[in-house]
Each structure stands twice: as structure tokens, then as C-alpha cells.
Structure 1
Amino acid sequence: MATRIHLPEAAAAALRLDGVERALAGHHVPVRVLTTTPPASAPEPTDPQGVSVSRWPALRDASGYLRGYLPYVSFDVPLMGRFFAQPRPDAVLVEPPPTTGVVMRLACALRRVPYVWYAPDVWSTAAQSTGAPRLVLEALRRMESFAVRGAARVVAINEEVAEHVRALGGREVRVVPNGVDTSVFDPTGPVPDAEARRRIGLTGPYAVYAGTLSEWQDAGVFVRALEGLRATRPDAQILFLGQGSDWETVAQDASRLPAGADGAPAVVMHPPLPPAEAAAWQRGAVCALVSIKPGLGYDFAYPTKVLAALGCGTPVLYAGHGPVGEDVERDDLGIVSDHDPQAVAAAMEAAFAADAALTDRQRRQRAERLHAWVRTHRSLEATGQAVARLMREVVIERRGGATARAAREKW
């Protein structure tokens, strides 16, 4: 596996790949991972048995996040040499960005090794929301197309992403929805006590946003909505757990909101936490906030934070359009609103009111129902096994003959 992000760094990609690693290791397939050294804030790595992880330093921004052209290059340039220093693998699973895809297509071609491209999103489409120059966008599109066209398989997280990947020239595109670890993100674990809440500035009921903040999400809409909501619910707060390119902008907007009567901030900004700790704060929240800004060509995205929240038994407040909203409305997983402050404020008011009206028994029943939905439809174990089977297909095709028959029998 070639990936710039890996556990213990808390990120959707890290959790997704962990499921694949465990599935492969469960079939006694040795796995080697080429990744980066985690940020200083991350806990000590604990890798699954049968998985060997090689970590290499890379440039990170002030928040510890690996994002941007120079950080990508700082991972991609050594990656070529690191790959050739390893024994020749049967197949490689490659995680974005597209620069990594370009490097690994060239490296795999030289070593005659097939690779699978993981497409949780489409970078060349998402980049349109950043205001990047047209020349940069075209270069990114070409790199991403180069990466997907060389892949023996492409894994897309939903049919919308699959369509975009096919338009870039991807072949053998398979849809494998994102999943989460339902043993970590479950409603039965601990929740922060009053002292833990007080330490970080939470004194009233709160909504949580747990994950990356980027331009295409415009999570600042929740801060703008909270300003209106606090006119009727002065104790309502938002907890942001994460990082990302939009972090500073959201933090600046949040700093302009007046504190409550008790001196507590309206918005608490907290860096990423390990999955188990993040799950505790999600369990204690009134609702989980998720957004995708419409009109940027990115409505097809399905953030993993949706599944993590539901796994914890916490309903989702989704601001945007696309498949997330369809699931939330169809299966009664929370509330969907337009992506504007007034609509979001009304949705937040409804979420806080609904939660306050529940008895403890009703709240437990709701949590069990939401968790069961994730376990049935989007468990990390099922996702990991699906990608592991796809990797098996690639290896069997490469080997052929009697070796392929033996592999089929083993799996």
C-alpha cells in the first residue's frame, strides 16, 4: 500500500485502509505499507498483526496536516526509492493524491506490478472549489487521469464518484462504499463527563463537527447559523474536532461570536483525536454536523464523518445535496437542510428541540437504530473484505494458470 495517511493519524483514509489491511491479514496475506511519520500529536502506532508499516518524514502544515503541493512532493519523491527498496509485491493499493498516483504508475510499470487506485473522491473536481488557476486545474486533471488509466482496478466509494472516474479514463471501476469500525463507533461506549466537558469549554448541549474542514465543505455555515440559534438557545454550542485548509477561517468566524452568560465560548475548536476519543464526544452530542457546499460539482461526496456519527448513535444534520441527504431522509437518520445559515439555524433548532424532548430510553432506542443501520449497510469489515477480494482478483489475473486456481481455492 502506498498512502500518505495511515493510522494512528485520525483520517477517513487511515480508517478505510485499516479495514483493508485487516481483511488481507485475516487471509494470511502479508501486507507492507509505505506511508509517512504521523504528526507529533498522534498516539503511538499499533499496527495489525501481519501488516508491516514503513514510515517516512514528510512536510506538514502548522496544524500537523499533510496537505499541499510541497507536502505531497515530500512524500512522493522518496516513495519511488522506497518502493524499489522493497521486495517485489503481487499488487499495490494506491491512495490519492494524484501526484502519488503518477509516481506509483511509473514505479509499478517499471517493476511490472499491477496497482489498484482508491478513489474516495475526485481531486480534479474538488479543486475547482479552491479558486486555483485554470492551468493548475488542468494539470491536476491530467495527473489524476494518468493515475486512474493505468490502474488494473479502481475502487470508487459511490456511483457518482465512479462516473467521474470513468470520465477520466478509469477501467474496471468497482463501487465499494465507505465504512467505519462499528466496534469503535458504537453507542455503548463512554461519554465525556461534566469535568471533561468543562475543561475544553463545553457547558451546555452541543453539536459536533468531527473531521476535515475544507473549502468544498464550507463548515463555517454552522458557525454563521449558530449566531442566529443562540438568540433562542443561548447555551447551544458547537465542537469542532479536526483540521484542514478551512480551519483558520472557521476559527476566525467563531472568535467573533460572543461568549455565553457563563463565559463559555459559542464554538470550541479542538485538534483531531484518536478514533476512540472522538467517538466519545460524538456520543455526547445532540447531533453531528456535516456539510457539502452545493454548486462546486462535489455534491456526490459521502464524508465518512456521517457514518462515524451514526455508528455512535448520533443523528446527522446534513447541509447540502446528494447521496448523503438521500440516505438521511429516506432512512430517518437525522435532518437535511439547504446550505445557508438561515436554513441550517432552523434545522439546528429542530435537532436541539427533538433531543431535549427525548427520554433516556427513547434516546437509547434511537442510538441503537442508527448504529444498526451502519452495521447493516456500511461496516468497515464489509468494506475491507470487498476491497481485499478485488485485490485478490488482480493478483489472480497476474499469476494465471495453476497458481490462480490455487489462489481461488484458498480464498
Structure 2
Amino acid sequence: MAQPARRLSVVLATRIFQPEPAAASLRLSALVSELAAAGHRVRVLTTTVPGGEEYVPPPGVEVRRWPVLRDAAGYVRGYVQYLSFDVPLAVRLLLTRRPDVVVVEPPPTTGAVVALVCALRRIPYVYYAADVWSDAVRAAGVAPVVARVLRFVERSVMRGARGVLATSAGVAARLDALGVRSGVVAVGNGIDVETFTPDGPAEAPGAPYLVYTGTASEVHGADVFTRAMGRVLAERPEARLVFVGQGSDVGRMQAQAADYPPGAVEFLPRMPPERTARWIRGAHAALASVLPGDYGFAFPSKVYAAAACGTPVIFAGAGPARELVARGGLGTVTDHDVDAVAAAMIDALGRDMDAADRDRRARWAAENVSASAVARDAVAVVEAAAGR
């Protein structure tokens, strides 16, 4: 790759990064890899990670970690947990050698810290809008005053940014409606097509199963799948439903699953991408959902992971994923309705896993949603922000 006319110093501030398994980790690691490949120096300011996994950064990338509070599930989620990262981050940013540009990952509180320090040091910053947090907290039913304060903080941070990276056209459109119109670029939200592939080992637990991977929160409405499982078991008593990940709705889904035979619904913790890919490859279908409502513009990246593995998707709910799944021939689209979802699940369990269809879906993912291609578009925004 041709080297840029000017080699930049870039700082990435994020509470979550590799090897912690999450869509954000994959997206951000692709970004720093492409920045390094373009000849830039990258310093990642992030958190220590529980467990024994290691991340080996590419040449030109330095990762600096700091201890942080985590919730009971081991996730940096919640006001106290965010503050345990944000407060030290302010000091870390003040003491680090002055970069040309800072890239910051949500939450908006972290964005506010970066905006303040960058204003003091006269450094441009780029905000990575993976979603709209103030809409998400409203959907979660938090106090209206909290939602209004977060809306003000989030909008202010993005208006002050030299560039805003939106992970979907839906997010970009929502930002425009909120008055964030300058510097927003819809770069997309890709998937690692070298890890998530149709080839490789697959889980084979002995019974046909459907899998849901990633976050299951109030905005996803993933409990529609556990509620539908009762109808599925009536016709396919051997079937299984597997959840891999975490989220605020998991407790409710576990309570719903307690009414079913033992083993019919299984909940597994977050796991490395390689293991997640095994579960997706072995499934008759991968499940994804977005609850209709204020957050209906969201796009679940688990759709991309399923397509890259060649596994058909059952998408239930609202948002741009409906059109993409239908247009790309990636699977089945239903309303967020228990009867419709159950019918789609039963149909998927009765279908043979066709190798040609798997290859076609995987090719679509490689051509349309490669994480490296998305990251290259993001690099251009970062370079423009630094050079303005």
C-alpha cells in the first residue's frame, strides 16, 4: 500500500477492545490494522481484559491498558463502570504525547471526556457512532431526565467532532434528525470474513439447533425467540435454541426457558470469535431481531456474521436489516410476532443445509461487508479530520 504524504499519530480511546469478544472489538481492531497499514502510528487507550486471551497488535500499534470496574457478567456496562474508565482516561489523554487526531468509541460519557481534553489541547477528534445511545436508553425505559441529559451530551460530542463514523445508513439518518449533520459518514459495520467463513469446524451437539449470538438487550426484543420456542418444540421436540452472549434481557429469557424441557434452550457466555463462528456454522439458522419503536433504525451486526459463515438468517422486527436480508437472499424476514417467528424457526429446522447456498451467502459477505473494507473507508475519514 502506498504510504501517505503525512504519517499521522492517532489515539483510539475505547473501553472495549481485542481480545474481548464483541462486535466493537472486531470493528476497532480492523480500524487500527488499516491505520497501521496506511503508515500511521496508533496508540490504543483501553482496559485490562479478564481471562487468559492475548491480543498481538500489528506493527505500528501500541495498546495501553488500565484496570476498570466490570458488572457481574464481566462487561464494562453501567454508569459506575463507565466512570471507572472515563475518569482515568482524562488523565491518560492529558499525559499522552500530543496526537494528530483522537478516535473515540461510545458511550457518550467517554466522548465527553475526549471532547473536553481535545478542546484543551486543540486536537481534532472523530466519534464512532455505532448506535444512538440516547435512543437506546429511552427504549430501555430509563428516567426521562436521564435520557434528556444523555441526548444533550451525545449531540454535543458529535457536533464538536471533525468526523462522525456511522455504522449504518439508519444511524446516519437518525443523527441527521437529531441535528448532527456535519461530518457524518456512513461507513457501515463489517465482519471479519477471515474468521467467519463457511469452511472450518462446526458445533455438532447431536440435535438440530438455532443460534443467537451477541447482545440481547431491551432494544433487540430477542425474547421473541424464547417465547416462540414453545410452539417449535410442539412440532420439533428434539430442537434446541442456543444463545451465545450477554445482555439485559438474558435473565428474562432464562426465566421463560425454565418452562421448557432441560436442554431445549441453552445460554452460553461470550466467547472468542473463532468459537462463535463454530456455533454459527453448525446451526440451521442464525437469529437476529430489532424491536419496533424508537430504536427501530438499528442494524444488528450478527446478520453479517451469519452471512459470512453461510448460515441463513431469521430476522424478526424492524429496521434496515429487513430489506438487506431479503435483497441479499440471506434468509427469512418476519414481523416481531411469536407465531410468525415460530413458523420461520420450524421451517429452518426442516431444511437441509445446502452447500451452494452457503457459498453464495459467504461470497456476498466478502464482497459487501468485509471489515477491512469498512475500516479503509473509516481511515479516510480519520485522515481528513487530522488534515483539516
Q: TM-score, normalised by structure 2?
A: 0.95
Distance, in Å, in 2 between the alignment partners of 1:144 and 1:255 is 39
Offset of residue 281 of structure 1: 0.9
Paired AA for residue 380 in structure 1: A
Is 2:34 aligned against 1:31?
A: no
Is 2:279 aligned against 1:288?
A: no
Is 2:253 aligned against 1:250?
A: yes
Is 2:346 aligned against 1:349?
A: yes
What pairs with 1:6-405 in structure 2 (closer than 5 Å)?
A: 6-40=17-51, 43-170=53-180, 171-193=182-204, 197=205, 203-259=206-262, 265-295=263-293, 297-355=294-352, 358=353, 363-397=354-388
Distance, in Å, in 1 between the alignment partners of 2:88 and 2:254 is 34
Query: Residue deviations 1:373-401, cap 9 Å, x none?
Result: 1111110110111101111111221xxxx
Paired AA for residue 149 in structure 2: A
Offset of residue 370 of structure 1: 0.5
| Between 153-162 and 109-118, the greater mean CA deviation after superposition | 153-162
Which ranges of structure 2 fall in alignment gaps of 5 or more residues? 1-11
Do 1:148 and 1:169's aligned partners in 2 also have CA atoms closer than 8 Å? no
Do 1:149 and 1:168's aligned partners in 2 also have CA atoms closer than 8 Å? no
Q: 2:218 is paired with a residue of what secondary structure?
A: coil
User: 1:406 corresponds to which residue?
Assistant: none
Offset of residue 245 of structure 1: 1.6
Percent identical among aligned pairs is 47
Offset of residue 303 of structure 1: 1.2
Q: 2:127 is paired with a residue of what secondary structure?
A: strand
Offset of residue 258 of structure 1: 1.9
Do 1:317 and 1:334's aligned partners in 2 also have CA atoms closer than 8 Å? yes
Paired AA for residue 50 in structure 2: P
Distance, in Å, in 2 between the alignment partners of 1:76 and 1:48 is 26
Offset of residue 164 of structure 1: 1.9
Do 2:212 and 2:286's aligned partners in 1 also have CA atoms closer than 8 Å? yes
Q: 1:218 is paired with a residue of what secondary structure?
A: coil
User: 2:3 corresponds to which residue?
Assistant: none
Paired AA for residue 256 in structure 1: D
Paired AA for residue 84 in structure 1: L
Q: 1:35 is paired with a residue of what secondary structure?
A: strand
Do 2:284 and 2:351's aligned partners in 1 also have CA atoms closer than 8 Å? no
Do 1:144 and 1:168's aligned partners in 2 also have CA atoms closer than 8 Å? no
Offset of residue 33 of structure 1: 0.6
Offset of residue 71 of structure 1: 0.6
| Between 113-122 and 167-176, the greater mean CA deviation after superposition | 167-176
Do 1:229 and 1:349's aligned partners in 2 also have CA atoms closer than 8 Å? yes
Distance, in Å, in 2 between the alignment partners of 1:143 and 1:289 is 33
Distance, in Å, in 1 between the alignment partners of 2:90 and 2:235 is 57
Offset of residue 49 of structure 1: 2.4
Query: Residue deviations 1:94-125, cap 9 Å, x none?
Result: 11001001111001111110000111110111
Paired AA for residue 387 in structure 1: A
Q: TM-score, normalised by structure 1?
A: 0.89
Paired AA for residue 303 in structure 1: P
Do 2:19 and 2:54's aligned partners in 1 also have CA atoms closer than 8 Å? yes
Offset of residue 133 of structure 1: 0.8
Paired AA for residue 323 in structure 1: P
Distance, in Å, in 1 between the alignment partners of 2:178 and 2:292 is 22
Paired AA for residue 110 in structure 2: T
Do 1:76 and 1:99's aligned partners in 2 also have CA atoms closer than 8 Å? yes
Query: Residue deviations 1:235-255, cap 9 Å, x none?
Result: 111111101222222222222
Paired AA for residue 217 in structure 2: S
Q: 1:354 is paired with a residue of what secondary structure?
A: coil
Q: 1:121 is paired with a residue of what secondary structure?
A: coil
User: 1:408 corresponds to which residue?
Assistant: none
Offset of residue 187 of structure 1: 0.5
Q: 2:90 is paired with a residue of what secondary structure?
A: helix
Query: Residue deviations 1:66-116, cap 9 Å, x none?
Result: 111111111101100011121100001111001001111001111110000
